[in-house]
Structure 1
């Protein structure tokens, strides 16, 4: 089978096409024929060696997310069967050869989730890192909820920083599905249109408007949860709009890695600052998030595509380097890699 591999950290030029044997699933594992692979910032950061995780594998197959069809099942797997359409999350958490940038991948059954027949493989490959990160951000508040479902966030106000990104898009959709009032910030008219298409009720252009003042107009009592992509740039705004006992959930360091906290203001607000990285949240948190995300998919609450606020940018497997470069350069939308042709029927 064809696989994209790298054996040393570096720019996208270290990626190479290799022929590898088709792997066999062991106990508790399934083999998935990958149809679409999804690319996230964590993928190029891991490849460059700039991730906080230590790379120990000699050879790595990149990409944590994907979707396809189960084509072999190992012993002790009860909830998945050959022929199931599925999506995959954290396919290669240890930098090994199990990433989705290859024709077949063997995964623990717990990281493989059934995909409804009316949900596309494009959608399946767009879930994983963005949707699970968004779920975590929306469920870490001290006053709950710890799970998402329709009505779980009723009466709550959620501010999503950077609503046109993949995590921001998922956060808008999940928060809206759960009943929250959703406010988001963007950098321009095009991204504003995408955020509205995703379902944001209020969109603020942070380059033209006073974000804190606008948020307080919309939510005079403040914001319950901030889904934050750029804490260094936005912390003062977050404190200004946060409701007492509110939470700022940080999943990236866009705009800088250092921030002056202003402890006094945080104390007054009883603010909670929660950092998020899926690799270390633990198996239970991941499983709970995957369950809720699957429920949202079944409710058709997480659509993708231009008309739903997340344009899809396509590449072939042999063009994985260009796909990684597109994500690294800040492409707006979800970068997908076509690995195999979806079978008829």
Structure 2
């Protein structure tokens, strides 16, 4: 039997329900993965919050998009993986489960030196960070401003920027300043006076600003420092009229599907070598996904939140 967490209604974490069903069999071109770890992300709870869409006909909603595990069955026509292979699944809708069916194309080989939790938390944040940096147009020798540098995507941006020779000034609360330093960024605190602190931190100016938080403070500060199209945001969708560049899955955003898919193997290689580190903040049992979502909603996660079947 397969255990799965779904959203049975729209609302808060009380909407989540644990269900069991017969273990699914892969069809042509599909692979079944015995899941070892699952990445939990803010988009997961936003999916059933009612803020994005609240169509009752779509219930129950499957949740999740990334996981790691072992291939335990393959459908007809599958040639790139075999039973026993260790893999990362992304994009993998419905990954809040113990037995995940995905198309062959959604799988990336898991490096042997990468833990299950780290593998499960790598590709959504990693591909988003890759997309954000590419969209920014920043080059080696440039400096960028990153809002929310201590979060899951922010930490990936900082690490990739360092690997690519891009300087970073990053915002966080006072308690996360050391985290930013360790990742090679110059830390500044958000809050009153942010614009002045940002200017002092990079007297030669910024090539771009990357927003991971979506606050008016982040966008207003960025627009005072760089042209609107050089403000790259994964969250400030209500500020689209300001001419900023929106990426990801929100309304009017560039999903960057081809770019993100192409980055998967490179991200896995970097993580396998230890050049890219996935910071795991907390783990929860899959059946305690509601608690994981409550923690994510609080907005204080320092890195990835992982579910374990």
1:331 equivalent to 2:300? Answer: yes
Q: Who is 1:134 aligned against?
A: 129
Q: Does 1:109 align with 2:104?
A: yes
Alignment partner, residue 210 of structure 2: 227
Match of 1:307 in 2: none
After TM superposition, the score normalised by the length of structure 1 is 0.79
Q: Secondary structure at the match of 1:175?
A: helix
Query: Structure 1 residue 140: deviation in Å?
Result: 1.1
2:198 matched to 1:215? yes
State how far apart, in whole Å, the 2-side matches of 1:249 and 1:323 are.
28
Count of aligned pairs between the two proteins = 303
Q: CA deviation at 1:120?
A: 0.7
Mark the CA change 1:217 to 1:245 in structure 2 (over 3 Å): closer, same or farther. Answer: same
- Tell me whether 1:38 sits opposite 2:23 in the alignment: no
Question: How far apart, CA to CA, are the structure 1 residues paired with 2:300 and 2:221?
Answer: 26
Structure 1 segment 161-240 matched on structure 2, within 5 A: 161-188=147-174, 190-197=175-182, 199-207=183-191, 210-228=193-211, 229-240=213-224
Could you say which residue in structure 2 is the equivalent of 1:96?
A: none
Q: Where does structure 1 differ by over 6 angstroms across 4 or more consecutive aligned residues?
A: none
Structure 2 stretches lacking a partner, 5+ long: none
Matches of 1:240 and 1:282, distance apart in 2: 26
Distance across 2 between alignment mates of 1:207 and 1:66? 35
1:7–1:14 Cα contact (<8 Å) kept = yes
The 1-side partners of 2:155 and 2:285 are apart by 24
Q: How well do the aligned residues superpose, as a CA RMSD in angstroms?
A: 2.5
Preserved contact between residue 169 and residue 187 of structure 2 (Cα < 8 Å): yes
Partner of 2:116: 121
TM (norm. structure 2) is: 0.88
Secondary structure of the 1:223 match is coil
Answer yes or no: is the 8 Å Cα contact 1:64–1:128 preserved in 2.
no
Alpha-carbon distance in structure 1 between the residues aligned to 2:84 and 2:274: 22
Which residue number corresponds to residue 30 of structure 2?
Answer: 29
1:54, CA displacement in angstroms? 6.5
Aligned counterpart in structure 2 of residue 313 of structure 1, from 278, 282, 287: 282
Aligned counterparts of 1:77 and 1:177: Cα–Cα separation in 2: 35
- Quick check: which one's helix share is greater? 2
